[in-house]
Copies of this chain bind each other. A is one copy, B any other.
């Protein structure tokens, strides 16, 4: 059945919204032009605020637009103009409180540049990250902000070569040379652990994510560095890696808190781990010091307040997005790695002296 016939026929078909292939007979510039009795291009001029239209003509066109409920089809516009004024954000999990502010910051920068934000969660799955990133490229986003889930981003090479501005955040890109914005994970962790050492701790536990994740590896490295700087040999039983789900974190924490020589302090490698460890410690009578990487909400209201190494998620997002738009300006020379400082926030749990 030809398209045109379908348009006119069967207006009462109840599944019209879907089966009507086109956008339910949306008016086009041609329709507006016909109604206003002007040429197609004149409508285009009015819609885009281009000069060279008499006030009288403009008024007629505006009336027609109003009457028909016309709205410019940006798909066609994009096809013609080449740029979409939209950027993509691939993150790990929108529901994670860390990414809310980050995402919001990216959005604000995009908005300031007149661009929309399209985003999706990779759920920490490299394949899904790739699928998502390429889908965004197919939509011809002008740029891409990616929080890597995988560690090989060569699949983006053709896209970058084709002009898609790309910035990686939170974790570095894998096997390609690209802009990266990250927190000083190493320095932050080192400072946090040094803080515990400064308060007299020597047996300090570390619970973090798999070292295959860059941030986790860096934080572990910071832990080791601080211990080494203090001349404290690290025992294997103090470290628990690749552990994030609450049950395993709980077991790991309990393990290092038991035995003849339990740890007197714990450094946690991310917010989810921190929360679980707080629960474990709350059930114990003997006080254990705690410093966590990433801030958590209400950390100051707990007893004791939770000392953390805080990252500025919003600053990460903002910096990345700004860098992306500067790529689009063409005002950047080459890929760069930007590291943002972390901040140690002391609230009590990190200042507890060693017990036992």
Contact = CB atoms under 8 A, between A and B. Distances in A.
Contact of A328 (B18, B95, B303, B330): B18
Copies in the complex: 2
Interface string A297-321: 1100111000000000010000000
A138 B302 contact: no
A95 B100 contact: yes
Contact of A17 (B116, B118, B138, B165): B165
A104 B93 contact: yes
Interface stretch (A21-29, A175-183, A222-230, A246-254): A21-29
A93 B107 CA distance: 10
A40 interface: no
Contact of A74 (B16, B26, B139, B165): B139
Given A26-B162, A71-B134, A330 B93 contact: no
Interface string A114-154: 00111111000000000000111111100000000000000
Contacts of A335: none
A94 B84 contact: no
A317 to B, nearest CB: 10
B301 A282 contact: yes
B104 A100 contact: no
Contact of A100 (B17, B97, B158): B97
A24 B163 contact: yes
A17 B298 contact: no
A14 B74 CA distance: 29
Contacts of A302: 298, 301-302
B100 A99 contact: yes
Main secondary structure of the interface of A (DSSP, over half): mixed
- What range describes how many residues of A lie at the interface? 35 or more
A329 interface: yes
B118 A74 contact: no
Contacts of A157: 69
Contact of A22 (B22, B82, B95): B82
A10 interface: no
Given A296-B298, A303-B303, A78 B75 contact: yes
A185 interface: no
Contact of A73 (B79, B83, B100): B79
Contacts of A100: 94-97, 99-100
A60 interface: no
B75 A84 contact: yes
A76 B79 contact: yes
A221 interface: no
Q: In the complex, which of the residues A74, A296, A302, A329 has the most CB atoms of chain B within 10 Å of its own CB atom?
A: A74
Given A23-B140, A69-B162, A303-B303, 15 more contacts: A14-B330, A15-B330, A16-B163, A16-B330, A17-B165, A23-B163, A71-B159, A74-B138, A74-B140, A94-B107, A95-B314, A97-B97, A117-B119, A296-B298, A297-B297
